[in-house]
Structure formats: structure tokens, C-alpha cells
Amino acid sequence: MVATSHAAVSALLRDPRFGHGSTPPANPGQPRGSFLVMDPPDHTRLRGLVSKAFTPRMIERLRPRIEAIAQDLIGAMGRETDLIAAYAYPLPVMVITEMLGVPPEDHERFRGWSEILARGIDPLLPAGQLASTDRARTEFRAYFRELAAVRRRRPGEDLLSALVRLEELTEPELLATCVLLLVAGHETTVNLIGNGVLQLLRHDLLHLAAESPGQVVEEVLRYDPPVQLTLRVALQDAELGDTPIPAGTAVLGLLGAANRDPAVFPGPDRFDPGRPSPRHLAFGLGIHFCLGANLARMEGEIALRALAEAAPGLKLADAAPPYKENVVLRGLAALPTWLS
């Protein structure tokens, strides 16, 4: 079953009768063992432990560092640049790896792992790629197991050090959480920045990112969200609107479609950063509302504003840039640009 309207998707995400249950994921490559696919009480316990590092106050402390990273990356860009490779990808991956305490020399190692795991949540993933997804997950967890052992001996001020001090967190939960935070903590933000730059350049509105970056980010999240859909299962007999949903039925919530619902967003297919109400569902709703929403918003605002201020003459070098092959995560594979 598929939910497409803003009202139906909102109800699906908020109603405790819908969750993840014991039903296997739509694709075996999807994340396992993380609170992303848990129901209460396990979800409540694990998310509560991790959320202490994602309070608005903790996130705000990262602002100067994120601004410095953006300026450094822009300063290294040439006149002709793939904006994904040079800017949209490295900015969030540097932020989340520094938060977790990953040594700088290991940052690039995560690109291949992360791309494979992000592809792994796609329900259309070819069966032949499942082995590479499992291998990447195994290697990722082995890396964090070793790094966690180092942090137990020599703790620092990073998030991983804080997590290993939590006695309530089992080792499998710790490793699954680290993988989730690293992949989710940058893959979706890469897409937010890339999708945002594309729409601003297509509509000749880059200057708005310097004037009102918050409004721009909210409209990008509505108009071209990094996450297009989410899956829930009826944990008991329920209904969406007037439609009965028997227990065990899988329901696909189309976030992208809900964000274009004309009943909520007049002229939904118009990219309009001046919209008065950011009622989009890009970060979900309910108990699974995106834990890193505040961080993603800050990174998006800083990245777009810094680019607009430093490169107001930025132009698209390809009117139809290529997208990654992923129906869940919508993002560009490359974004060729040039400075006029």
C-alpha cells in the first residue's frame, strides 16, 4: 500500500500502530540493528542515549567549525568544478567524522563504504550487489570496533568517546549506531546541498542563499527532499483516513509526493523560497523524526550562504546533471559548474 498525500503520510508517521515490527526490511541491504528500524521500547532507549549529543545547544557549538570548513573548501575550488566532489560531499563528511572522532587520515576511506551502504537501502538494489553491501557493513563495523577500543583506553571529547562510556549500550548497538550516524549524518546532507545549489542556479536565485539561507533550505527540503520515501508496517489492524489497513501490511510513505500536495502547498511544483510555512515532511514526523535535523539545517544554511557570498557568478556547466541510482535517497552524482 502507498500513502501519497500530506495528511496520509503525516498520519502514517505519527500513528503508533505503524512501525517497523519484526517484518524483514524491503531490501536485505537496509540497515539492521540501528534505532532507525526499531520500535519502542528499544527505539526509545537507544535514541534517548544518542540524542544527548544532538541538542540544539550542542549543534550550535559546531557552527564556527562548519563555517571554516566551508570557506576552506570554497577557497580550493577552481573556475570549473564538480560541486558535489569539491564541496557538497566533503563538507558534511568532515563534520560528522570530526564529531565521531575519526582521524583525518581515515576520512576518505569512508566514501566507498558510505556510497555502498547508501545504495543498499534502495529497494531496487540488484541482488548481485547484496554481497558488496554486507561486506562494506562488516568492514565499517570492524573499523569502529577497533576505534572504540582505542577510545576506551584514551577517551577524547568526541561523540564516540561519549558513546563508549554508556554502559547501557551493547557493542552491537554501539557499532550499528556509529555506522548509522556516519552514513545518515552526511549522505542526506550531501544531497541537500547539491539539490539546493542545482535549484538555485536553475532559477537564478543563488543570491537568496546569502540573504535568507534558512528559507532557502526549507524550500529545498520541500521541493527536492534528500529522502524520498519511508516504509512502515501495521503493527495491528489500523486505518489511514477511511482505508482499513490489516495488521502486517507494509505501507510506503512517499515523502516527496506529500511535499508536493496542493492541499498544503499552493503551486507545489514551483520552487519558491518565500513560502511562509515549512510544513514539509523531509525529516519525517513522530518518534522517528530525524535526529540530525538541526545539524543538517545548519550545514545546509552555512554551505549555501558561503557559496552565494563567495561565488555569486556561479553557473551550471550541465543543464541536466546526472543523479545517483537510488530511489530512496535523491541526490546528484555530479554537479559541473563554472565561475563567470
CB atoms closer than 10 angstroms to residue 19: 20
List, for residues 243-268, the tens digit of each pLDDT value.
999 999 999 999 999 999 999 999 99
CB-based contact 338:315 (threshold 8 Å): yes
Domains of the chain in start order, with CATH, are 2-339 (1.10.630.10)
pLDDT on residue 169? 83
Distance between CA atoms of 132 and 25, rounded to whole angstroms?
A: 17
Asked, as a colleague might, if the bond just before 41 is cis with ω within 30 of 0, I would say yes
Instruction: Give Cα 54 to chain centroid, integer Å.
Output: 14
List, for residues 286-336, the tens digit of each pLDDT value.
999 998 899 999 999 999 999 999 999 999 999 999 999 888 889 999 999
Write out the three cell numbers for 185: 549524518
pLDDT on residue 25? 46
pTM of the model: 0.90
List, for residues 24-34, the tens digit of each pLDDT value.
444 444 445 56
